[in-house]
Amino acid sequence: MDDNQRRHFWKENGYLVLEEVFSPAEVESLRGSADRLSARAEGLTQSTDRFILHTFGDGGGAPIVQQIAEPHELGGEWMALARDPRILDTVEMLIGPNIQLYYSMMMMKPARQGSRAPWHQDFAFFVHDRASLVACQVYLDDSTLENGCVRVVPGSHRDGLLNHFHGDEFTEMVQGDTAEFDAREVALPVKAGGVAFWHCMTLHSSHPNTSAFPRRAIVFEYKDANARLLKGSFSASEVRAAGMMLRGKDPRADLLSAL
């Protein structure tokens, strides 16, 4: 697809997949960096603000690193990846020229393990005054149907923000009957080195890893620098009001210069 076709596909569907963005050599280097990053959690028995652990199965085994928060703060290679023009050029096409990095997260699904991520919208975790945020997932391993690839509901970014609350509790998942989403879902298997983008309002989920192979990927959430977080966030761990400028102009600079 050319850029015009990609824009149209994004507008209609709320997601986009680009294959072979990064070379096998680049992917292999990132895998080594991911291994070294995971090794920093060795000896942990409970989660920290950086390393989120999970015990799978019957709970009798040792906890496994499932997520690593903000890897771009833990290694220059991840910050360089977040700034890579092969990613930012597409992000600019999707949300405009003034781009902030809002957060990053290393996602891991060990072989024959992992849990299901239920249907949710990223925007529910950090409601802004405009839905100008996009997730970018860079794959370090092949993402397949068997190892729990991301699934999306095409066009759901146009349906508005759905209920993620049970009473007063934010549940991190859409409430009510989600059978309709299961019926409309599209699976997104992506080879290592490929990249998937989805709109902050696009419904997405994933299944457990039933394969003999791990599924590792790093997610970068980018935002239009003009978007403003509204009165905190539903997620207890979501505290950032602004992101890090990566491209374009920070609108706050004009406000500061006027003081």
**Digit-coded pLDDT (tens) for 199-210:** 999 999 999 999
259 pLDDT higher than 50: no
pLDDT bracket for residue 251 (50, 70, 90): confident
State the CB neighbour count (10 A cutoff) for residue 257: 7
- Domains, in order of start, for the chain: 3-258 (2.60.120.620)
Q: What is the pLDDT of residue 230?
A: 86
pLDDT score of 162:
96
Helices (H), 110-243: 179-184
Report the alpha-carbon distance of residue 164 to residue 109 in Å, rounded: 24
- What is the rounded average pLDDT of the residues 246-255? 82
Contact 41, 51 (CB under 8 A): yes
Q: Is the pLDDT of residue 242 over 60?
A: yes
Closest-CA residue to 59 (of 115, 101, 4, 103): 115
pTM comes to 0.92
Helix (H) or strand (E) holding 90: helix 85-95
Of the pLDDT bands very low, low, confident and very high (cuts 50, 70, 90), residue 252 is confident
> Which of 56, 75, 70 lies closest to 214 in space, CA to CA?
56
Of the chain, the percentage scoring pLDDT greater than 90 comes to 77
Nearest Cα to 94, choosing from 189, 224, 1?
224
Residues 167 and 72: their CA atoms lie apart, in Å, by 35
